[in-house]
């Protein structure tokens, strides 16, 4: 298949987000002729040896990138991270037990809502009092809870946990928007999950990595499709999996490995974040929306000091072929998402636009 040349657009979309160009090319080729079968990936059986190899490697690569052993299992499931808001308490909260949650934004709030339906759910810390513009710290973790749930990065508000709580109970983390963007000690977590569409792959698949020893302790009779142990036994193919999204996710992880892995991308992501935050702090027309110590390296939220100038700024960034920087409706302003596949070049284009805007309107 010939390589398609696309007009360069600087894609800051918050999700579904940017994917590496070579991943898009390879996945497009697989839609026509997968694995030299002269068949499309979209039309072969998920039970074929060719696809079983994809699933096996996709599960193994997560463990490789997270540097964990066989005491962890990896699943690819449908339903987005939103289904995990229910599956996590269903699989980890004992009947008559409890769970602890830290509320750092919309998605954490949604997780709390679902957990409350399953059982006793305690919000032990929250940043809602200041519109989720900071990460709570110094809270007490109950030792009798079945698990503690946190959200590592808050896409809408632009906050990120720079360190994680140490606790004696299982630690569960929603890493949907910053998974594989920086080094973490995955062995500190009993469960990590992520909707793939922000930093790992396309929409349609959710990755769950769980430590096996936390499962099977709820005391409840489990519905098969909501039971992690059923999906583990079925090697993520108890039912027909989201075949194409998982394949593209594997290609994205292979791209990451080929270029130097998480250590490499962490440095690149820090360069991107430094470039735009330095400009926000320097520029007389912009300001950030969250506490500096809690600023996300993935989702940079900022506002204009003179909101009436938004139409003029919009003209400038659109003329520079920038896409996807409108802020979420709950925050307003602008949000530049710096996911792994976004090149530093794109950030520099946005910074140049911000400088030009200041020269014209300051």
- Listing DSSP states for 18-82 in one string gives ---HHHHHHHHHHHHSSTTSSS-GGGS-TTSHHHHHHHHHHHHHHHHHHT--TTEEEEEESSHHH
My answer on whether 282 and 155 are in the same domain is no
Distance CA 248, CA 182 (A): 21
Q: Measured in whole angstroms, how far is the alpha carbon of residue 19 from the centre of its chain?
A: 13
> DSSP secondary structure string, 99-123?
EEEEE-SHHHHHHHHHHHHHSEEEE
My answer on whether 217 and 134 are in the same domain is yes
What is the chain's mean pLDDT, rounded?
96
Q: What is the pLDDT of residue 330?
A: 85
User: Across residues 324-342, what is the average pLDDT?
Assistant: 95
Last residue of a domain, one of 209, 241, 258: 258
- Specify the higher pLDDT residue, 8 or 9: 9
Total structural domains in the chain? 2
Residue 4 has pLDDT above 80, yes or no: no
My answer on whether 267 and 243 are in the same domain is no
My answer on whether 213 and 334 are in the same domain is no
Asked whether residue 212 is domain-assigned, the answer is: yes
Joined tokens for residue 359? 């020269």
Asked whether residue 11 is domain-assigned, the answer is: no
Residue 317 has pLDDT above 50, yes or no: yes
Is 257 one of the annotated active-site residues of the chain?
no
The Cβ-side half-sphere exposure at 90, using a 13 Å CA radius, reads: 17
Q: List the catalytic residue out of 146, 174, 178, 227.
A: 174
Task: Give long-range contacts, CB 8 A cutoff, 24+ apart: 185-189.
Answer: 186/66, 186/67, 186/68, 186/72, 187/67, 187/68, 188/164, 189/164
My answer on whether 92 and 220 are in the same domain is yes
Confidence bin at 6 (pLDDT 50/70/90): low
Q: List the catalytic residue out of 146, 178, 198, 317.
A: 198
Is 264 one of the annotated active-site residues of the chain?
no
Confidence bin at 281 (pLDDT 50/70/90): very high
Residue 3 has pLDDT above 60, yes or no: no
User: Across residues 159-176, what is the average pLDDT?
Assistant: 97
Asked whether residue 105 is domain-assigned, the answer is: yes
Residue 1 has pLDDT above 80, yes or no: no
CA quadruple 18, 20, 21, 23: dihedral sign: negative
Asked whether residue 13 is domain-assigned, the answer is: no
Q: What is the pLDDT of residue 8?
A: 80
User: Across residues 48-72, what is the average pLDDT?
Assistant: 97
My answer on whether 141 and 29 are in the same domain is yes
Last residue of a domain, one of 199, 232, 258: 258
**Full domain range(s) for residue 212:** 23-258
My answer on whether 236 and 270 are in the same domain is no
Is 174 one of the annotated active-site residues of the chain?
yes
Asked whether residue 123 is domain-assigned, the answer is: yes
Nearest of 238, 181, 187, 235 to residue 213 by alpha carbon: 187
My answer on whether 281 and 137 are in the same domain is no
Asked whether residue 8 is domain-assigned, the answer is: no
Q: Which position has the token pair 């946005």?
A: 350
My answer on whether 151 and 275 are in the same domain is no
Q: What is the pLDDT of residue 2?
A: 46
Last residue of a domain, one of 242, 258, 274: 258
Please tell me the pTM assigned to this model.
Answer: 0.96
User: Across residues 185-212, what is the average pLDDT?
Assistant: 97
CA quadruple 316, 320, 325, 326: dihedral sign: positive
Q: List the catalytic residue out of 107, 146, 178, 317.
A: 107
CATH number of domain containing 202: 3.40.640.10
């Amino acid at each position: 298949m010939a390589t398609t040349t696309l007009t360069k657009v600087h894609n800051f979309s918050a999700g579904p987000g940017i994917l590496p160009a070579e991943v898009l090319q390879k996945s497009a080729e697989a839609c026509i002729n997968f694995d030299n079968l002269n068949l499309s990936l979209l039309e072969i059986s998920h039970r074929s040896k060719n696809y079983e190899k994809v699933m096996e490697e996709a599960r193994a690569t997560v463990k490789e990138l997270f540097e964990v052993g066989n005491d962890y299992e990896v699943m690819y499931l449908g339903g987005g991270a939103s289904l995990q808001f229910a599956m996590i308490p269903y699989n980890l909260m004992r009947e008559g037990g409890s769970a602890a949650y830290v509320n750092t934004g919309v998605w954490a709030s949604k997780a709390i809502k679902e957990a409350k339906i399953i059982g006793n759910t305690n919000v032990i810390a929250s940043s809602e009092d200041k519109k989720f513009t900071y990460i709570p710290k110094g809270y007490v973790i109950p030792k009798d809870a079945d698990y503690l749930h946190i959200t590592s990065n808050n896409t809408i508000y632009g906050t990120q946990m720079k360190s994680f709580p140490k606790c004696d109970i299982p630690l569960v983390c929603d890493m949907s928007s910053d998974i594989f963007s920086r080094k973490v000690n995955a062995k500190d977590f009993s469960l990590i999950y992520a909707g793939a569409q922000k930093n790992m792959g396309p929409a349609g698949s959710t990755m769950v990595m769980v430590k096996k020893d936390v499962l099977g302790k709820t005391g409840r009779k489990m519905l098969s499709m909501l039971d992690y142990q059923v999906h583990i036994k079925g090697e993520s193919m108890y039912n027909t999996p989201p075949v194409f999204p998982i394949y593209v996710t594997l290609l994205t992880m292979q791209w990451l490995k080929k270029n130097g892995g998480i250590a490499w991308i962490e440095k690149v992501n820090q360069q991107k974040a430094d470039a735009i935050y330095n400009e926000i702090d320097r520029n007389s027309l912009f300001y950030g929306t969250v506490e500096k110590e809690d600023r996300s390296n993935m989702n940079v939220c900022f506002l204009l000091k003179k909101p009436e100038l938004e139409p003029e700024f919009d003209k400038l960034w659109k003329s520079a072929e920038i896409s996807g920087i409108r802020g979420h409706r709950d925050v307003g302003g602008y949000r530049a998402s710096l996911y792994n596949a976004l090149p530093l070049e794109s950030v520099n284009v946005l910074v140049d636009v911000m400088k030009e805007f200041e020269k014209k309107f300051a």
